[in-house]
Amino acid sequence: MNILGLSFFYHDAAATLLQDGMLIAAAEEERFSRLKHDSGYPLHAIRFCLESGKIQARDLDYVVFYEKPFVKFERILTTALHTAPRSLDLFARAMKNWLVDRLWIKNLLQRELGLDPGRILFSEHHLSHAASTFLCSPFDEAAVLTVDGVGEWATASSGVGKGNTIKIDREIRFPHSLGLLYSVFTAFLGFEVNEGEYKVMGMAPYGEPRYADKVEKLIHVDGDGSFRLDMDYFSYHYSPSQAFTAKFVDLFGPPREPESYFFTKSSGYPSYFGAKPANYDALVKRNEYYADIAASIQAVTEEILLKMVNALQRQTGQRRLCMAGGVALNSVANGRLLKETAFEEIYIQPAAGDSGAALGAALYAYHMILGQPRRFVMDHAYWGKGFDESAIHDTLAEQNICAESFTDEDKLLDRVVDGLSQGKVAGWFQGRFEWGPRALGHRSIIADPRREAMKDIVNTKIKFREPYRPFAPSVLENRAGEFFDLPEAERHFPNRFMLYVVDVKDKAKGQLPAITHVDGSARLQTVRPDTSPRYYRLIEKFGQATGVPVVLNTSFNLRGEPIVTSPADALKTFYNSGLDFLVLDNCIVTKEP
């Protein structure tokens, strides 16, 4: 039984393949097309899935799309009618986009894949999210919560998953949306929506939630966790270009200039920003105001999620929770949900946003339509394309690059550990690439976390990121508790996917300055020997050499580009950056003559 799950035409397009209920492949289109957040028809990701399953499109039993286009179109039209004539632009744009292609997904899939219409199914957006988490979780029974910007009508839903089915019994509907509220502040703070939400989360610890009471004016939350926005402050339901109204600006002041440099007293002024501007003090003050706004929306979001999750726990009596939707990528909030609610275990899969709904669509069809029992638990993120040794050697030969090849893994890893402990920064490319937005040790840049200067060094060499983007640690799972406030890390899954932010233990803060954020927290990845054997051994060896079984891990890409996919992408990034050396499977490439 071959089932292809697809999501596209909105955020990150993706394809996944299930064979007899087991996941074979899952990838976002951007990794192949090299267009960040590519939302188009995922031609390359589909090809990759079919190749991985050793099948042709005609062998597909079902293709399942992650949402219902006609219902979504109905929501857009209804909203446009209710907000006319202000919605004229939105209406014109929607008609163009939807009538040209988005409504005709069934025809597109029939044409592209040569399938009978009866084999093409549609799932509901939030049910796809719910299925993407519960149906590949390790739990037989759990509460399920999905929270995002918007699907068809729902912006949040909850219920209970049992065995191979999920019963959703509550939902919150557009325009009331926690995800869209966060996105409005993302836009207000000068970041791109659907991309800059992490930046808001990283900026928050540089401020204080001084304006939480103002944010709370925008949203009313009931005791049962449901909420309503005061739509006088928002215009996203009728404007395609402006998310907030003049009333919002009256309350919070003018928005931050898009992508302007961010620095405060506590961040310092990074060397890669160049010379300090003449009006430095005034800019610091202004940035501190925006950091306070970021802290306020983050704090309010956390409090609302806590209320929603506590209410869900009371309503269901469950001790386990599965979450999905873009808001489930808020790793700071997730860390608090584990610590401060009665749920004892939480499951979130690494692509919790819309790309992951492609997986949910396929799981929904296999278990909930076809009634098949569950067989699959997603316990790692390595579902993308891999490149074998010969592919790597061919790429090196084509580009006339001389690399050192190792047959003895210990020698390879010793060399990497030597380089890292001397302060060098490495590109690290191993096995299949990761599913979801995080690099988890297969397409990573790694460095020594003990050096305070390493943040600046990595930023200068490759990332040119601003100080509010903390670097993450990868730590051996069985040693995580020594350095981070996450007892019994092996019991939990989200930390495998960098989905919890936790406190760095006091004694470790001085040891690990490059991965400790300004508020003393870290977004850790715990690494296991069964799912990431070579990465585990590398960190273990680094620990033996330095006393710290932790490396700094950031995604292997240049700013603004998707994470590298192929050896050729890795080499291009290596030569276009200040990386000191590159580990491509068993080979090490250096820039020395």
Task: State the residues that interact with Fe ion by CB under 5 A.
Answer: 148, 354
At 343 the three-state DSSP class reads coil
Q: How far is the CB of 207 from Fe ion (least distance, A)?
A: 28
CA 483 → CA 169, 344, 488, 496, 504, distances in Å?
40, 21, 12, 16, 6
Q: How far is the CB of 315 from Fe ion (least distance, A)?
A: 22
Residue nearest to Fe ion (CB): 148
Nearer to Fe ion, 327 or 538 (CB): 327
Residue that is written with structure tokens 């065995």 in the block: 163
**d(Cα 55, Cα 63) in Å, to the nearest integer?**
14
Q: How far is the CB of 125 from Fe ion (least distance, A)?
A: 6
- Which residue type occupies 15? A
**d(Cα 316, Cα 400) in Å, to the nearest integer?**
61
What is the torsional sign of CA 389, 392, 396, 398?
Answer: positive
Nearer to Fe ion, 11 or 432 (CB): 11
Nearer to Fe ion, 28 or 148 (CB): 148
Nearer to Fe ion, 354 or 580 (CB): 354
Nearer to Fe ion, 178 or 294 (CB): 178
Q: How far is the CB of 352 from Fe ion (least distance, A)?
A: 9
Strand order in the sheet with 320-324: 165-173, 154-162, 141-147, 320-324, 345-347
On the 0-12 / 13-18 / 19+ scale of CB atoms within 10 A, 402 is exposed
Q: How far is the CB of 326 from Fe ion (least distance, A)?
A: 6
Q: How far is the CB of 151 from Fe ion (least distance, A)?
A: 5
Q: How far is the CB of 79 from Fe ion (least distance, A)?
A: 17
Q: How far is the CB of 364 from Fe ion (least distance, A)?
A: 14
CA 15 → CA 106, 111, 435, 504, distances in Å?
16, 17, 10, 36
Instruction: Quote the Cα angle for 218-224-225, to 5°.
Output: 45
What DSSP assignment string belongs to 533-587? HHHHHHHHHHHHHHS--EEEEEESS-TTSPPP-SHHHHHHHHHTS--SEEEETTE
**d(Cα 150, Cα 152) in Å, to the nearest integer?**
7
Structure token digits, residue 476? 């051996």
Nearer to Fe ion, 195 or 414 (CB): 195
Nearer to Fe ion, 12 or 288 (CB): 12
Nearer to Fe ion, 205 or 437 (CB): 437
Cβ-based neighbour number of residue 464 at 10 Å = 15
Nearer to Fe ion, 148 or 580 (CB): 148
Q: Are 46 and 31 a contacting pair, CB within 8 Å?
A: no
Nearer to Fe ion, 12 or 148 (CB): 148
- From the list 431, 437, 382, 349, the residue with the least C-alpha distance to 30 is 437
Structure token digits, residue 275? 């010379």
Q: Where are the alpha helices (DSSP H) in 327-405?
A: 331-340, 357-363, 389-398
Q: How far is the CB of 148 from Fe ion (least distance, A)?
A: 4
Nearer to Fe ion, 150 or 417 (CB): 150
Nearer to Fe ion, 136 or 588 (CB): 136
Q: How far is the CB of 166 from Fe ion (least distance, A)?
A: 16
Nearer to Fe ion, 28 or 354 (CB): 354
**d(Cα 530, Cα 534) in Å, to the nearest integer?**
10
Structure token digits, residue 413? 């890893």
Q: How far is the CB of 63 from Fe ion (least distance, A)?
A: 19
Q: How far is the CB of 150 from Fe ion (least distance, A)?
A: 7
Count Cα neighbours of 182 within 13 Å in the Cβ-side half-sphere.
32
Q: How far is the CB of 82 from Fe ion (least distance, A)?
A: 22
Nearer to Fe ion, 148 or 485 (CB): 148
- Phi and psi of 537, rounded to 5°? -65, -35
Cis link prior to 117 (omega < 30° from 0)? Answer: no
DSSP state letter for 424: -
- Give the chain's largest Cα–Cα span: 70
What DSSP assignment string belongs to 526-542? EE-TTTSHHHHHHHHHH
Q: How far is the CB of 146 from Fe ion (least distance, A)?
A: 8
With a CB cutoff of 8 Å and minimum separation 6, the contacts of 425 are 445, 446, 447, 454, 457, 458, 461, 462, 578, 579, 580
